[in-house]
Amino acid sequence: MNATKPHSPKTDLTVTHVLAELLERLERSAEPVGAEQYRSVVLHLVNELGDVEPGTALRALLDTHPAAAELYENVNYQYAGLCRSALDASLAAERQAKEALHRAMSRPTTQPKEDPNYGKS
C-alpha cells in the first residue's frame, strides 16, 4: 500500500518571490515577450502559489507584486472571489452602476403627445 504524506504548505517564499519579480518584469517589459516564456512563468508561479502557506508573508509579497496578486486572485476566485481587489474601487464602481441604472429608470418612457392641430391649417 502506498502511503501518501500529508501536504504541508511552504513557508519559504524565495522561489515564489523570484517568480513574482520575473512576472512583474515581463508585465512591464517595453520589449515584446514570447507567449511561451510568459506562460511558463505564470504556470510556475501558479504552482508555487498553490503550495505557499497563506499568511502575512504571502500578503506582503502580493502587496508588492501587483501581477502576482492579480494571478493569485484569479486562481483563487472560486474560493474567495475578488479577495484582493481594493474595496474602495469596488464600492465606487458599484455606486456608479447604481446611479446609472437609477438615471436610466427615471427617464420618461412615454412619448410626447402629438399636437392634435399638427398639419391642420
Q: In this predicted model, what pLDDT tens digit does every residue of 91-102 receive, in sequence order?
A: 677 888 888 888
118 vs 24, more confident? 24
Angle at 47 between CA 89 and CA 18, to 5 degrees: 75
pLDDT of 64 reads 95
- Looking at residues 99-118, what average pLDDT do you find? 75
pLDDT of 99 reads 86
- pLDDT, tens digit, 9 for 90 and up, residues 58-93: 999 999 999 999 999 888 866 655 555 555 666 677
